[in-house]
Chain A
């Protein structure tokens, strides 16, 4: 795609029909909870949008987020939209290497100062700066430097949004999220391990259409996608309401598709769109294949106890502490009773003396 082409021209050149494009626009509008009347606006804005420059930084991550976004099994409008941005810097995807790669980043920052979008995946180590470096630059420095001229930052994946797995106990690298470092730019957290691809494109579409960032929840996530829990939208919800639970992964309840609450499903406390958008082009999502939600779009999901521990179960130390408590209680009880006995014996003598 040439830089002077707008998105509409590019898509037409790629053989995407007007009909297909509008379908995407209306789907995007509805995803973002916009009224139907906004579809035309979305279409017009997208069609005439200039390709924004995007710099993608990958820190302590596993490339799962990139995989999620690029490994669609067939080219889709979403992937084309994704192609349509000017992805000026992305380790995994760019052809350039070494000096050339870094130069590309610097160039993009210079050319689009104040306008480019910064996408980050992976968390940032704050321990030893040598834990993770790119071209000899620590993640922390690179993030600060690159964020300076960005219009907005999109933290893709739970690691970038909340610290994710690198931050899990005992957090050996001192990993933190983007928002722990960058406080003076709009940050959109697109959490998930990995996030749903269409959520990324939806956020991009929103930015391209309105030039603003969408409504965010208290954790900085677009409410259009993260406004409801998995549990709220789960097709197994009626079984929960009736108290019908699978107790094991192969019992009668599991075969009947009953609620997975007892098997540790984190759906009730996880805000994401999996239950409606689903994965693999709307094929399924974890609960659809009989496994509980891990809650991967939530902060600290790795440290909320076992994935298979129900959310109403306690998360606490060994049961033996209760034996200790009982022993302490016994000591107090015995002590108190002994003291009261001594006082009683004294009082007995005093009462005898009173009555004689």
Chain B
């Protein structure tokens, strides 16, 4: 099942080519610092201030970080990854700032360059450290601030920068745009699944991702079947189908906002009451939790992950499932941004249980779940390949220990990273999608 498909091989080739023609900014170090300073200053609010003031440098967060645990490299300690922000806070924002300047080294552009590696290449933003911190510090939130500052200073890794710019400027990702969606739609139509593209009005706006279009068209078909079966009035927009939000990953404010507003505008114009996010953890985070804040207003639609949609349809009796015949036991891999940071824990497990599956938990699970190792766009960064693979090994051992027949996940990103890891290490546990499993077991 994990034998790489033609599409997957091609996808990896295009990953390898990323970052080769990335735009760069010819800013001086002072300009970079100034831009980072504006962002840090504007983002250090009460929440961050309390976090910065509470850290006791105990170092326990290291033990929550898959990159540290896998490599034992102390630079990967989460508290260290946000150290520049803390230094900035201590010198510029803290109530004791004048005193702190005596003891705290000033931040410079070299620091920013050094930390660009740490917060982009050695952090998936999984937030496991948030759950470990005895002080309750939200480290991943501060990592986001770090990323935003680095993005403002033009210090995002080339791969992410290229994808982010592509999405903002061309509204495509990996070259996938409206045309590619249409061609997938016609292929699926041949196979008997209709995608109602660009309906003028619809109750449900379903999103998909470039990755699904290139790699997992079955997942799109599965979502479509579920929509159909549950009797929804739904559509997919060729202008605003892309759920992924590279700006959320890279920290680039403009990209993040444009991707969100494209979807919000479409949802509003077609009168959708619900936006359904496909299997993508960070997309869920962007739309479910960040969109209203990004646009500065409460939004007139509900955002659901596809697993939430399924669970609700099952509860409402709009959908029913038959026992899965080809699987016995599965383990569910919680995508970080969907579960630990998004709150979707129960629904995927309920859905799997409805299909009569024996759901086994890994040693760390739910809010303590181990990241796949390449989450949130990390798999696109070629320089992190070594540590990603080491982190994958940790995950793989936990998955193997469950002795489940397959690992089910609800995020394309996790799925891709697990597939890459499996391919490199010859691991053979099937990695399957929740939505495809559901679509395969819809009761008549």
Contacts and interface: CB of A to CB of B under 8 A. Distances in A.
Task: Say if the two chains contact directly (CB < 8 Å).
Answer: yes
Interface of A: 332-333, 336-337, 340, 343-344, 346-348, 350-351, 354-356
Contacts of A340: 93, 95
Given A333-B95, A336-B95, A337-B95, A350 B45 contact: no
Contacts of B152: 351, 354-355
Q: Is the interface of A mostly helix, strand, loop or mixed?
A: helix
B35 interface: yes
Contacts, number: 41
- Interface size bracket, B side: 10 to 19
A347 B95 contact: no
B51 to A, nearest CB: 15
Contacts of B253: 351, 355
Interface string B369-408: 0000000000000000000000000000000000000000
B144 interface: no
A140 B246 CA distance: 92
Chain B CB within 10 Å — which of A337, A344, A346, A355 has the most? Answer: A355
A193 B252 CA distance: 81
A356 B42 contact: no
A355 B148 CA distance: 11
- Chain B: interface secondary structure? helix
Contacts of A355: 152, 252-254
B137 to A, nearest CB: 19
A356 B258 CA distance: 12
B37 A347 contact: yes
Nearest to B148: A351
Contacts of A332: 95
A336 B40 CA distance: 17
A340 to B, nearest CB: 5
B41 interface: yes
Interface string B231-265: 00000000000000000000011100000000000
Given A351-B152, A354-B152, A356-B254, A344 B42 contact: yes
A22 B40 CA distance: 89
A351 B42 contact: yes
Interface of B: 35, 37-42, 44-45, 92-93, 95, 97, 152, 252-254
A165 B39 CA distance: 68
Closest 3 CB pairs of A and B: A347-B41, A350-B38, A347-B42
A333 B53 CA distance: 14
A332 B95 CA distance: 8
Given A347-B37, A351-B38, A355-B253, 13 more contacts: A337-B95, A340-B93, A340-B95, A343-B92, A344-B41, A344-B42, A344-B44, A344-B45, A346-B41, A350-B42, A351-B152, A354-B38, A355-B252
Contacts of B97: 336
Nearest to A329: B95
A348 B95 contact: no
A337 B49 CA distance: 11
Contacts of B42: 344, 347-348, 350-351
30 contacts: A332-B95, A333-B95, A336-B97, A337-B95, A340-B93, A340-B95, A343-B41, A343-B92, A343-B93, A344-B41, A344-B42, A344-B44, A344-B45, A344-B93, A347-B38, A347-B39, A347-B41, A347-B42, A350-B42, A351-B35, A351-B41, A351-B42, A351-B152, A354-B38, A354-B152, A355-B152, A355-B252, A355-B253, A355-B254, A356-B254
B253 to A, nearest CB: 5
Contacts of A350: 38, 42
A343 B40 CA distance: 11
Contacts of A333: 95
Interface centre among B35, B42, B97, B252 (most CB of A within 10 A): B42
A340 B95 CA distance: 8
A348 B152 CA distance: 12
Contacts of B37: 347
Contacts of A347: 37-42
Nearest to B45: A344
Nearest to B31: A354
A333 B45 CA distance: 15
Contacts of B38: 347, 350-351, 354
Contacts of A351: 35, 38-39, 41-42, 152, 253
Nearest to A345: B42
B90 to A, nearest CB: 12
